[in-house]
């Protein structure tokens, strides 16, 4: 009888394990052989697909904007926004003859303003978005204040608000476009309409103190007019709106009045 510690006995002792390894390696070898034996064009297609998926930049860290603006035509659009380094950046895109345009921007993680200047029309609009948002802009360039901007909670809230006060916006548009031939009457009606717009904005802010849209309304209707009530409205804000970066900038701006 041979010794249990002899090389022969050790071989038979580990033989089942060796067979297992051999069978396992044979399995993967057969799979690899199958792939390599594919027709060359099939193998190339698979390789290209893998390279495509591997090299595609994730869209989740970008803001996508699609616009369809009537009466805009082909035009250069100047874009200003805060990039991922928290710096003010600029870009340019072109709308086609139908007024359609697309752009993708890499911004930082918070909701940030993106302003689109319609240079030829000498007007602009501002949207608010964070990476991953898909924003749509629709409407008529001749009523730029009424452009319907959706996608992202701030844009959606502002869009809903504008629909509620659409008549005031349209009245203002009519006055600015010569509804009243008498200059004094025109100025009086415009002042009345602007006052109603501010009152409407104030009511919205009081009813939605935690909404980021309220901060935007404070900026557009009060801060830009150097209205002394701006500070009181800022003190009404709650939650995320109170600590929104735009809120901080408005507070800093008031100190320079």
* Cβ partners under 8 Å of residue 167, min gap 6: none
Given a cut of 60, whether residue 84 has pLDDT beyond it is: yes
Residue 202 burial (CB < 10 Å; 0-12/13-18/19+)? buried
Do 14 and 51 lie in one domain? The reply is yes
Instruction: Say if 156 falls within a structural domain.
Output: no
Residue appearing with tokens 């629709």: 138
Q: How confident is the model at residue 23 (pLDDT cuts 50, 70, 90)?
A: very low
Whole-structure pTM value = 0.74
For residue 220, is it within any domain? yes
Within a domain: residue 154? no
pLDDT, one tens digit per residue, over 198-244 is: 999 999 999 999 999 999 999 999 999 999 999 999 999 999 999 99
Number of domains in the chain: 3
Same-domain check for residues 137 and 70: yes
What is the span of the domain harbouring residue 137?
Answer: 59-148
Predicted confidence band at 58 (pLDDT cuts at 50, 70, 90)?
low
Residues 134 and 208 in one domain: no
Q: Report, as an integer, the average pLDDT of 5-14.
A: 43
In a domain, residue 71? The reply is: yes
């Amino acid at each position: 009888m041979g010794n249990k510690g002899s090389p022969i006995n050790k071989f038979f002792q580990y033989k089942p394990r060796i067979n297992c390894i051999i069978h396992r390696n044979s399995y993967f070898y057969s799979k690899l052989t199958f792939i390599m034996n594919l027709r060359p064009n099939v193998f190339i297609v698979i390789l290209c697909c893998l390279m495509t998926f591997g090299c595609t930049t994730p869209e989740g860290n970008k803001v996508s904007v699609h616009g369809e603006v009537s009466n805009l035509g082909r035009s250069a659009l100047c874009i200003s926004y805060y990039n991922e380094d928290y710096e003010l950046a600029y870009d340019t895109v072109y709308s086609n003859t139908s007024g359609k345009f697309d752009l993708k921007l890499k911004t930082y993680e918070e909701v940030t303003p993106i302003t689109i200047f319609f240079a030829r029309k000498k007007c602009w609009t501002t949207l608010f978005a964070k990476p991953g948002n898909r924003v749509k802009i629709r409407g008529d360039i001749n009523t730029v204040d009424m452009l319907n901007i959706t996608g992202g909670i701030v844009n959606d809230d502002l869009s809903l608000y504008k629909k509620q006060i659409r008549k005031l916006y349209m009245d203002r548009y009519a006055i600015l476009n010569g509804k009243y031939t008498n200059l004094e009457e025109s100025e009086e009606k415009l002042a009345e309409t602007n006052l109603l717009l501010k009152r409407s904005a104030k009511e919205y802010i009081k009813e939605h103190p935690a909404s980021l849209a309220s901060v935007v309304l404070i900026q557009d209707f009060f801060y830009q007019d150097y209205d002394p009530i701006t500070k009181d409205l800022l003190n009404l804000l709650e939650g995320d709106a109170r600590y929104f970066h735009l809120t901080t900038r408005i507070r800093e701006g008031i100190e320079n009045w």
